[in-house]
Amino acid sequence: MRSAASKSLPVIRPLTAADLGQVISIERASYPFPWTKGIFEDCLKVGYSCFGGMIDGQLVAYEVHNRGADEAHLLNLCVHPEFRSLGLGRLLLQHAIDHARAMGCMVMFLEVRPSNAAAIQLYREAGFDVVGRRPSYYPAEQGREDAVVMRLALLPAAFVS
Ligand SMILES: CC(C)(COP(=O)(O)OP(=O)(O)OC[C@H]1O[C@@H](n2cnc3c(N)ncnc32)[C@H](O)[C@@H]1OP(=O)(O)O)[C@@H](O)C(=O)NCCC(=O)NCCS
């Protein structure tokens, strides 16, 4: 792993099956209950939108979202621990929002753990509002944890400054 200090401008590109080894290593370093490789393989197989953030040719972040009718759902957004607080999370989130809007979606939803202050702050700054709560949604060290449901209206590009 190259250090964050030698970073160049990030590039965003679609993920492929060849990326999943690196994706899984970031996933395991980031979540107490990480997605399995099979989940990512399924996401690629069914055509979910999967994008990676590259620094110096190295995959250091990714996001997964899907689309049903005119609704998009952000399913995963993750940055390698050594590359956090550099703006990559915001960049990939904005890319997901722009991509969903370009695909004709009117709204984006996501779930996040109430304990995940960094992610909630990121989503709030991007304009997401809390619209609900799913009780006992996530596995937790002790029992289960609720999910906070957040929503962003995706205005047509012509209305976005
Ligand atoms: C949440 C996550 C994606 C943020 O990525 P990042 O690249 O570190 O975030 P950025 O550098 O783009 O920061 C953007 C904004 O997010 C918020 N943020 C990021 N890290 C934060 C922290 N530790 N505490 C509070 N707010 C934080 C801030 O609002 C920040 O804006 P600012 O720098 O102007 O204050 C990253 O912490 C991560 O991968 N976490 C593990 C996986 C995860 O929890 N994903 C979300 C699942 S719902």
Residue 14 lies in a domain: yes
**Catalytic: 123?**
yes
The reported pLDDT for the residue numbered 17 is 98
How far does residue 138's CA lie from ligand 1's centre (Å)?
20
Most ligand 1 atoms within 8 A of CB, residue of 24, 90, 146 to mutate: 90
- What is the count of structural domains for the chain? 1
Angle between helices 37-45 and 20-30 (to 10 degrees): 130
Residue 144 lies in a domain: yes
Output the furthest CA–CA distance in the chain (Å, rounded).
47
The reported pLDDT for the residue numbered 156 is 72
Residue 146 lies in a domain: yes
Low-confidence stretches of the chain (pLDDT < 50) are 1
Residue 1 lies in a domain: no
Specify whether the backbone of 73 is left (phi greater than 0), alpha (psi in -120 to 50) or beta. beta
First to last CA, the chain: 37
Residue 161 lies in a domain: no
pLDDT tens figures, 85-102:
999 999 999 999 999 999
Domain of residue 41 covers 10-156
The reported pLDDT for the residue numbered 87 is 97
The reported pLDDT for the residue numbered 5 is 57
pTM of the model: 0.94
Indicate which CATH number applies to the domain containing 55: 3.40.630.30
How far does residue 87's CA lie from ligand 1's centre (Å)?
8
Using CB atoms within 10 A of its CB, is residue 65 exposed (0-12), middle (13-18) or buried (19+)?
Answer: buried
The reported pLDDT for the residue numbered 1 is 47
Residue 56 lies in a domain: yes
- Using CB distances shorter than 6 Å, the residues near ligand 1 are 30, 77-79, 84-90, 112, 116-119, 121-122, 125
